[in-house]
Amino acid sequence: MTAPAARGGLARPFLRLRLAGYAFFLPFFVVFLVVVVAPLAYAIYLSFFQTRMIGGTVFAGLANYTRVIGDALFGAGLLRVALFLAVQVPIMLLIALGCALAIDSGRLRWPSLFRISIFMPYAVPAVVAALMWGYMYGDQFGLVGQLSDALGVTAPDLLSRSWMLTSIGNMVTWEYVGYNMIILYAALRAVPEELYEAAEMDGAGAIRIAWSIKLPALRPALLVATIFSIIGSFQLFNEPNILQTLAPAVITTSYTPNMYAYNLAFNGQQINYSAAVAVVLGLVTVVVAYVVQIITARRENAL
């Protein structure tokens, strides 16, 4: 990544080149400052203030943060998305991994048909996906009810309290399994053919090749997919927010931490506290993503 001396073999520092580098980077950086850095800094700033009945907005130190930590609604939401993360993400990634291995194996008929069609839901907006699945789950013209009637069984109410998280998990899996499959598939395609030939010559079977060559080659891509899925899980908002209209009694305003932050700011007028919730949520996300990365790196070093 570094090696400036080798880059173009420049012996002397060209001021002109430096300036050109800055100039090319500047437009992106300005937008980055406005869109990412400024809101982040502003959220942190806001989180240290409180609006009181008497005295207006005053500096509150860590008061908002101690309140977040003791907030049962926030805790319940965080626990819910953590459970979601622990169950949905492994299932989705395993299915994506299986699909990628199957398509790459060369033993599948019509591989490109499967590749394109399984990826297709990624192009569907989360809103449309949530509406669609919500209607299919629902009791008005729901597919689930029609199917169970036809089969003469009683289907569970998928929009009920005990099924809701599973139902959302199914939606998210449907939306993103193909995307993750494509990422893993692209990594598989980057494995040099000679490696397979050598393995086959050594008499390795398909399973052995998948285990000893393909899985190690997939590790970086799997890590990227895992980290994006962790971020996505903690930030869960669109699907539950849409389903709220269909199941208002089950999906409360604090169903996920992100919904809580949103409702605090826009329905509760508690902007400062909402900012603190957003900051804590961001911190939790970064810490979990970081820990997962460290564990993976350590396991790689151990091998």
Partner 1 sequence: MTAVAQAGRSTRGRAAHRSLKRTRRGKSLSLTVIMLVMFAYAVLPLFWLLANASKTSGDLFSTFGLWFGGEFNLFANIDQTLSYNNGIFLRWFGNTVLYSVVGAGGAALLATVGGYALAKYDFPGRKLLFAMVLGGISIPGTALAVPTYLLFSQVGIVDTPWAVLIPALCSPFGLYLMRVYAADAVPDSILESARIDGAGELRIFRTIALRLLAPGFVTVLLFSLVATWNNYFLPLIVLNTPDWFPLTVGLNQWNAQANSGTSGAGDATYSLILTGSLLSIVPLIIAFLVLQRFWQSGLATGSVKQ
In the window 217-256, what residues touch partner 1 (CB under 8 A)?
217, 219-221, 223-224, 227, 231-232, 234-235, 237-238, 242, 245-246
- The smaller minimum CB distance to partner 1, of residues 76 and 265, is found at 265
According to the binding rule CB under 8 A, does residue 289 interact with partner 1?
Answer: yes
- The smaller minimum CB distance to partner 1, of residues 142 and 169, is found at 142
- Judge whether 260 and 73 are in contact, CB under 8 Å: yes
Exactly one of 117, 160, 162, 269 binds partner 1 (CB under 8 A); that residue is: 117
State the nearest-atom distance from the C-beta of 73 to partner 1, in Å. 17
State the nearest-atom distance from the C-beta of 259 to partner 1, in Å. 10
According to the binding rule CB under 8 A, does residue 180 interact with partner 1?
Answer: no
Those residues whose C-beta lies under 8 Å from the C-beta of residue 254, and which sit 6 or more positions away, are: 73, 74, 76, 77, 260, 263
The residue count for binding partner 1 (CB under 8 A) is 114
- Judge whether 260 and 253 are in contact, CB under 8 Å: yes
Q: Give the residue carrying structure tokens 């949520």.
A: 281
- Distance (Å, rounded) from C-alpha 117 to C-alpha 214? 23
Exactly one of 48, 63, 73, 122 binds partner 1 (CB under 8 A); that residue is: 122
- The smaller minimum CB distance to partner 1, of residues 54 and 289, is found at 289
- The smaller minimum CB distance to partner 1, of residues 54 and 118, is found at 118
User: What phi and psi, each to the nearest 5 degrees, are found at residue 290?
Assistant: -65, -45
According to the binding rule CB under 8 A, does residue 105 interact with partner 1?
Answer: yes
Exactly one of 52, 189, 208, 299 binds partner 1 (CB under 8 A); that residue is: 189
Exactly one of 58, 198, 291, 297 binds partner 1 (CB under 8 A); that residue is: 297
Exactly one of 107, 207, 298, 301 binds partner 1 (CB under 8 A); that residue is: 107
- Judge whether 110 and 219 are in contact, CB under 8 Å: no
State the nearest-atom distance from the C-beta of 241 to partner 1, in Å. 8
- The smaller minimum CB distance to partner 1, of residues 114 and 163, is found at 114
In the window 134-163, what residues touch partner 1 (CB under 8 A)?
135-136, 140-143, 146, 150
According to the binding rule CB under 8 A, does residue 108 interact with partner 1?
Answer: yes
According to the binding rule CB under 8 A, does residue 299 interact with partner 1?
Answer: no
- Tokens representing 276 are 């603190």
State the nearest-atom distance from the C-beta of 53 to partner 1, in Å. 21
- Judge whether 173 and 113 are in contact, CB under 8 Å: no
In the window 31-90, what residues touch partner 1 (CB under 8 A)?
31-32, 34-40, 42-43, 46
State the nearest-atom distance from the C-beta of 55 to partner 1, in Å. 21
